């Protein structure tokens, strides 16, 4: 198995910038007392989520990453990729389960399919 993904699809970097700004903005409040210092954990967790969450594309599988943990799905188990109303893509698996592909949208779906060597199929 290939250890490095062919494509990494991540959330926008603006989310990480927003987390840094929230952290910096919370420092004066946290300096009042140790009890308020815990408020800084929220932007730190948000930053880690924005940095980590996404979908890694391999030739034989997809790996969907979240703040904690990840799910690996072989391409052959995916029966359909479908967008929701917001343009986010979900994968329907052969066992009926649905997995939302983090950061994959209708705009970058062609790149995901191309990186995974998958063909766009049309059902008639």
pTM over 0.85: no
Tell me the CATH number of domain 53-124, given options 2.60.120, 2.60.40, 2.30.30, 2.30.29. 2.30.29
Question: Mean pLDDT across the chain, nearest whole number?
Answer: 90
**Tens digits of residue pLDDT in 50-107:** 999 999 999 999 999 988 899 999 999 999 999 999 989 999 999 999 999 999 999 9
Contact 39, 31 (CB under 8 A): no
Q: What is the DSSP string of 33-46?
A: -HHHHGGGHHHHHH
């Amino acid at each position: 198995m290939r250890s490095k993904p062919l494509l990494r699809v991540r959330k926008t970097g603006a989310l990480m910038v927003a987390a840094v700004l929230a952290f910096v903005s919370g420092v004066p409040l946290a300096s009042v007392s140790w009890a308020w210092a815990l408020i800084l954990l929220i932007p730190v967790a948000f930053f880690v989520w924005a940095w980590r969450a996404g979908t890694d594309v391999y030739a034989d599988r997809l790996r969907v990453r979240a703040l904690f943990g990840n799910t690996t799905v072989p391409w052959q188990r995916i029966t359909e990729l479908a967008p929701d109303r917001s343009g986010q893509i979900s994968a329907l698996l052969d066992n009926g389960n649905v997995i939302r592909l983090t950061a994959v949208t209708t705009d970058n779906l062609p790149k995901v399919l191309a990186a995974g060597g998958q063909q766009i199929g049309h059902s008639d």
